[in-house]
Amino acid sequence: MARIVMKFGGTSVADLDRIRNVAQRVKREVDYGNQVAVVVSAMSGVTNQLVKWCTELSPLHDAREYDAVVATGEQVTSGLLAITLQEMGIDARSWQGWQIPLRTDTAHGKARIQSIEGAELVRRMETGQVAVVAGFQGIAPDNRITTLGRGGSDTSAVALAAALKADRCDIYTDVDGVYTTDPRIVPKARKLAKIAYEEMLELASVGAKVLQTRSVELAMNERVRVRVLSSFLDAPTNDPLGENAGTLVVDEDEIVEKENVSGIAYSRDEAKITVRRVPDRPGIAAAIFGKLSEDNVNVDMIVQNISADGTTDMTFTVGKADLPRARAALAEIQTQINYSEVLEDPNVAKISVVGVGMRSHAGVANTMFSALADKAINIQVISTSEIKVSVLIAAEYTELAVRALHTAYGLDAA
Amino acid sequence: MARIVMKFGGTSVADLDRIRNVAQRVKREVDYGNQVAVVVSAMSGVTNQLVKWCTELSPLHDAREYDAVVATGEQVTSGLLAITLQEMGIDARSWQGWQIPLRTDTAHGKARIQSIEGAELVRRMETGQVAVVAGFQGIAPDNRITTLGRGGSDTSAVALAAALKADRCDIYTDVDGVYTTDPRIVPKARKLAKIAYEEMLELASVGAKVLQTRSVELAMNERVRVRVLSSFLDAPTNDPLGENAGTLVVDEDEIVEKENVSGIAYSRDEAKITVRRVPDRPGIAAAIFGKLSEDNVNVDMIVQNISADGTTDMTFTVGKADLPRARAALAEIQTQINYSEVLEDPNVAKISVVGVGMRSHAGVANTMFSALADKAINIQVISTSEIKVSVLIAAEYTELAVRALHTAYGLDAA
C-alpha cells in the first residue's frame, strides 16, 4: 500500500474519452490498494480561450479577475473526473483550491503556495475516497482565487504530495519519461530510469520541457519522489520501475550507479549580446546587469574577458524575446557606461552536459571541448556549474553537437 | 441615488461584444449616481455544454460534482464583466457564491437560498465599487458549491436585492417587458407598465416565460420591486417608468388603476387524464393523488363530477413529460381503486385570464365563457383561483381562444 499523487496535464484530459482513460488509470492504482489523490489541469485549449477573453477585454486586466476566470478550467475537469470515477464505482470527490484550502500569497496570476491543509484529504483517502484536486490554483489571504501561473499544476501536485506525505508523485504527460537527450535529434537517446533532482532541474531549465522548473525545485526541497510517465502508453504495473514506468526523479543518494553525464540538453531560445570596450573599472557589471534586471530582462550566461588597454568586452545571453528590451536598456545607459558598441547575435544555441557524477570525475568538460573540436565546432562562451557544463555555439551546429556529445559520453543506446 | 441590482441572462452576455454592452448599461447606472450590484448568468450555450458533459460521463451523476462543474459558467462571466468595467474606469470586483457567502441548503442542483451576508457588498457599493455576482450558485453548509437550478440567476438577483435592501431589481432579458399575452399570437398585445406580483406569478406559471416562478414568489415575499426589461433596446433613462423601461413588477397597492384582467396566458405543456368510474367513497382522491405525488407527478387542474350510480369520473391534468409516469402509477393502484379505465388526451391547452382586479369585479369568468362560446370552443375543464380563471380546451383552438379573450377583455392596443 502506498499513498500517491497522480497528475494529469491538459492533453491527458482533452476530451471525455481521455478523461475516462485517466479514470481507468486511477482505478488501477486504487485496485492495487493505493491511496490516491489526483491533480488535474484544464482540458487542453480551455485555458488559452479564457486567457484570450481576458486579454481581449482589457490588455492590462486585473490579475484577481483573471484568476477567477482562468481557474474555472481546472474546476470543470475536477468535477468531470470525479463523476467518471463514481460511474466506475470508485468513491471520489472534487476539491477546489479554496476548499482544501491550498493557501497562497497574493501574487495573482503567479502565486506561490504557502501551505496546504491536508488532514481532511488524508482522512478521506484512508477510507478509500479518491481526492480529485483542481490544479494550478489556490486561495489568497483575502479569500480570493489565485492561480500559480502556467505549468502550475505540476507544482500543485508536488506540493500536495509533500503535504500528504505521499510516497510518490506521478506526473502523467505526453512523453514517456526523461531521455538522455531529445530523441528527435538523437534516435539513440535512452530513457533514464532514474534521474537526480539537480540534474532534472538543469535539464528542465535548459530546454527539456518535461517538468516545470518550480515543481522540480519544490520536489528537491521537500524530497518528493516524482515520476514522469506517459498517459498514452499502457498503464504501468505497480512497480515504479517496471514496464512503462517512465523516469523517477529522486535524491541522488537513491541512484546507485551514477553516470558522469546523465543527459545533453540544448536551447535555441537565447541570443548573445556583446557590449564592446567597456571601461574596466569597479561597478560596471553592476550598472549593466542592474539596469537589465530593473527592466525585467533575464540574463543567463555571462563572460567577461581580461582587460586590454583599460577596456573589456562583456558578453552575455538573454532570452530571444527579451532582445528588444535589452537593446533599449543598454541604449539608455550608453552615456553612463560609455561603451563603444553593442553586438547582437540571435543565431546561437546553448548546449549543456548535465550529471551529478561530474562532481567526482575530472575531465568531463574536457571531453566536451574535444568532441566539439573534432567536429570543428567553435565554442563562443563557456559557463560551468557544479553539475553542468554549458557552451554557446552557432545555432546551425546544434544537432551535430548534441549527437557528437551523446556519443562521446557513452549515452547511445545499444 | 438608488441602490439597484441588475441581472443579465445568458443571451445578454453571449460574447465579448455583448459583455461590453452590459458594461455600458452598468456604467450608465453608476453615472446616474446609483449603487450597483450586477448578477450574471453563464454565456449562452456554456451551461448546456457543461451539463451535457456531466450527463455523458454518467447519466446519474453526483449532483455535488455537477454543481462544481456547472457553476463555472457564471464564474467566468463575473470575472470577464469585472475586467470590462475596470477597463471603462469603473471600480468593480467579482463575487462567487461562496465568497459573499450566499448560503443555501444542501439540495444540490436545485438548492434554496437560506441567507446572504450582504454587509461587505453594501460597504463596498457605498464607496462606489460595483459588485459583479456570479448568479445561480451558492455554498452549502458542508462548504461545497451548490446551484439553484435552471433559471436560478433570477432568484439570485431577487434574493440579493432583498439582502442589500435594494430599491429595485432590474432583470434584463431578451423581451422588453411583460405583455397582456403572447405577441406572436396577438399582434395587438400591449406591454404592461406595471403588474402585481400575484399576476406575474400566475402568468409565469402558465406559460409566459419571462421570469422564473421562484424569483417572483421571493420578490413577493420580500417585497422586492422587480423590473423586466430588454438588454437589446437602447438603455432606459433613470426613470423606472420612462422609455424602454420595460415592466415593473410590484405590490398591487402600487398599481393605481387596476384592470379587471391584466393578461391572457396559455400552456400547451399539459395532458388531460380521466380516471373513469371511480367508486365514490372517502379516501379515493387521497389514494390517487397521494400515489401520483409519491411518484413525483405534478398535478395541476383537478375536477371531480358529482356522483352517479355510486361511481364518479376524476379528471386532472399533468405535465406532458409526466404522462408515462402517471400512467404507470395509476396502473399500480388499479386493484386498490377499482376504476374502470384511464383516458388520456395530450391534445389540450390551458387558457387562463389573470388579474388582481377580478377580486372586486363579478362577471369576469362569465365574459370568458361567453367569448369562447361565441367561437364555438368547447370547455373541457374549469378551474379558478382568486385572481385567475383557467379553462382546458382542445389544443387546436389555442390561438383563436387567446385572440378572442384578448379582445373580449378590452386588452387590444389601440
The answer, yes or no, to whether residue A253 has pLDDT greater than 90, is no
pLDDT attached to residue B309: 82
Which residue among B93, B99, B143 sits closest to A99, beta carbon to beta carbon?
B143
What are the tens digits of pLDDT across the range B280-317? 888 888 889 999 988 888 898 888 877 778 888 899 99
Torsion of CA B295, B300, B303, B309, to 10 degrees: -10
Nearest Cβ partner of A61 from B54, B83, B96? Answer: B83
B14: which chain A residues are within 8 Å (Cβ-Cβ)?
Answer: none
B270: enclosing H helix or E strand: strand B270-279
Element (H, E) at A372: helix A364-374
Distance from CA of A50 to the nearest CA of B (A): 8
The shortest CB-CB distance from A72 to any of B53, B62, B75 is to B75
Query: Which one of A58, A71, A79 has the shortest CB-CB distance to B69?
Result: A79
CA distance B359 to B259: 11
- Chains A & B: contacts with CB separation below 8 Å: 111
Q: What are the chain B neighbours of A66 within 8 Å (beta carbons)?
A: 79, 83
Would residue A259 be called left, alpha or beta, if left means φ above 0 and alpha means ψ between -120 and 50 degrees? beta
pLDDT confidence of residue B128: 96
Residues of B in contact with A143 (CB under 8 A): 99
| pLDDT surpassing 70 at residue A59 | yes
Count the Cβ atoms, other than its own, within 10 Å of residue A60. Answer: 9
Closest-CA residue of chain B to A57: B84
Contact A72 B72 (CB under 8 A): yes
Q: Which residue of A has its CA nearest to B69?
A: A76
Q: Do A58 and B96 touch (CB under 8 A)?
A: no
Q: Please give the residue of chain B at the shortest CA–CA distance from A75.
A: B69
pLDDT band at A330 (very low <50, low <70, confident <90, very high): very high
Determine the Cα–Cα distance for residues A135 and A155; give it in Å rounded to an integer. Answer: 8
SS (H, E, C) A345-370: ECCEEEEEEECHHHHHCCCHHHHHHH
Closest CA to B266 of B179, B346, B352: B352
Residue B167 has pLDDT above 90, yes or no: yes
φ, ψ (nearest 5 deg) of residue B334: -60, -50
Task: Determine the pLDDT at residue A148.
Answer: 92
3-state helix, strand, coil in chain A (%, to 5): 40, 25, 35
- The pair phi, psi for residue A301, each rounded to 5°, is -80, 140
Alpha carbons within 13 angstroms on the beta-carbon side of residue A300 total: 26
Say if residue A101 is preceded by a cis peptide, omega within 30 of 0. yes
From chain A, pick out residues whose CB is under 8 angstroms from the CB of B68: 75, 78-79, 82, 94, 96
Residue B69 and residue A87: Cβ atoms within 8 Å? no
Domain spans in chain B, listed from the N-terminal domain onward: 3-253
Q: Is the per-residue pLDDT at A414 higher than 80?
A: no
Mean pLDDT of A305-333: 89
Q: Which residues of chain A have a Cβ shorter than 8 Å from any chain B Cβ?
A: 16, 19-20, 50, 53-54, 56-58, 61-62, 64-69, 71-72, 75-76, 78-80, 82-84, 86-87, 93-94, 96, 98-99, 143-145
CA distances (Å), origin B195, targets A284, A308, B7, B95, B169: 79, 92, 19, 31, 15
Number of H helices, E strands in chain A: 13, 20
Cross-strand pairs, B316: B273, B302
Mean pLDDT of B249-262: 83
Chain B residues near any Cβ of chain A (below 8 Å):
16, 19-20, 50, 53-54, 56-58, 61-62, 64-69, 71-72, 75-76, 78-80, 82-84, 86-87, 93-94, 96, 98-99, 143-145
What is the distance between the alpha carbons of residues A404 and A266, in angstroms, rounded to a whole number? Answer: 13
Q: How far is B326 from chain A (nearest CA, A)?
A: 29
Q: Grid coordinates standing for B130?
A: 460595483
Q: What DSSP designation does B144 have?
A: -
- First-residue to last-residue Cα distance in chain B: 36
Question: Chain A closest CA to B297's CA: distance in Å?
Answer: 28
Is the Cβ–Cβ distance between A278 and A307 less than 8 Å? no
So what's the pLDDT on residue B254? 86
Across the interface, whether the CB atoms of A83 and B57 are under 8 A apart is answered: yes
B-chain residues within 8 Å CB-CB of A79?
54, 65-69
* Contact criterion met (CB < 8 Å) for B57 and A87: yes
CA distances from A52 to A41, A181, A306, B40, B223 (A): 18, 34, 49, 20, 42
Residue B76 is nearest to which of A16, A50, A78, comparing CB atoms? A50
Rounded mean pLDDT of B318-329?
92
Tell if the CB–CB gap between B87 and A58 is shorter than 8 Å. yes
pLDDT more than 70, % of chain B = 98
Looking at residue B68, its pLDDT comes to 97
What gap in Å lies between CA A78 and CA A186, rounded to an integer? 38
- The predicted pLDDT at position B46 comes to 96
Average pLDDT estimate for A167-178: 91
Question: Quick one: closest CA in A to B83, which residue?
Answer: A61
Residues 6+ apart with CB under 8 A from B106: B140, B141, B142, B146
A79:B66 CB<8 A:
yes
Contacts of A75 in chain B (CB under 8 A): 68-69, 71-72, 75
Architecture of domain A3-252: 3-Layer(aba) Sandwich (3.40)
Q: Is the dihedral of CA A243, A249, A255, A260 positive or negative?
A: positive
pLDDT digits (tens, 9 = 90+) for B117-152: 999 999 999 999 999 999 999 999 999 999 997 668
What is the per-residue DSSP string for B161-201?
Answer: HHHTT-SEEEEEESSSS-BSS-TTT-TT--B-SEEEHHHHH
Are B86 and A58 an interchain contact pair (Cβ–Cβ within 8 Å)?
Answer: yes
CATH class given for the domain over B3-253: alpha beta
More confident residue, B22 or A361: B22
Residues of B in contact with A83 (CB under 8 A): 54, 57-58, 61-62, 65-66, 69
* Length of chain B counted residue by residue: 414
Q: pLDDT of B174-211, one tens digit each?
A: 888 899 998 889 999 999 999 999 999 888 766 567 88
Q: Do A58 and B84 touch (CB under 8 A)?
A: yes
What is the overall mean pLDDT for chain A?
Answer: 91
The answer to whether B57 contacts A65, with C-beta atoms less than 8 Å apart, is no
Residue A105 backbone dihedrals phi, psi, to 5 degrees: -80, -170
Q: What is the pLDDT of residues A139-159, one digit of tens each?
A: 999 999 999 976 688 999 999
Q: How far apart are CA A303 and CA A307, in angstroms?
A: 12
Of B69, B71, B80, the CB nearest to A69: B80
Nearest-10 crossing angle of helices A364-374, A398-408? 130
Query: Of B19, B65, B76, which has the smallest distance from its Cβ to A82's Cβ?
Result: B65
Model pTM score: 0.82
Return the higher-pLDDT residue of A259 and A392. Answer: A392
Contact list in B for residue A62 (CB cut-off 8 A) is: 82-83, 86, 93
Residue A176 has pLDDT above 70, yes or no: yes
Q: Which residues of B touch A52 (CB under 8 A)?
A: none
Q: Could you give the CA distance from residue B80 to residue B74 in angstroms, rounded to a whole number?
A: 10
**CB nearest A65 (choices: B68, B71, B83):** B83
Query: Mean per-residue pLDDT for A402-408?
Result: 95
Question: Residue A206 pLDDT more than 70?
Answer: no
Which cell goes with A8?
494529469
Which residue type occupies B25? Answer: R
Nearest-CA distance from B225 to chain A in Å?
31
Of B20, B50, B82, the CB nearest to A62: B82
pLDDT greater than 70 at residue B12: yes
Strands A168-173 and A130-134, sheet pairing: unpaired
The per-residue pLDDT for B159 is 96
| C-beta atoms of B69 and A80 within 8 A | yes
pLDDT at A310: 83
Compare all CA atoms of chain B with the CA of A47 and give the residue at the minimum distance: B76
**Contact check, Cβ <8 Å, B83/A64:** no
Q: Write down the residue that cell numbers 560551468 correspond to.
A: A384
Is B93 in Cβ contact with A54 (below 8 Å)?
no
Contact A64 B99 (CB under 8 A): no
Question: Is the pLDDT confidence value at B332 over 90?
Answer: yes
Q: What percent of chain B has pLDDT over 90?
A: 71
CA distance A140 to A108: 8
Residue A6 near residue A172 (C-beta atoms within 8 A): yes
User: Both ends of chain A: CA-CA distance in Å?
Assistant: 36
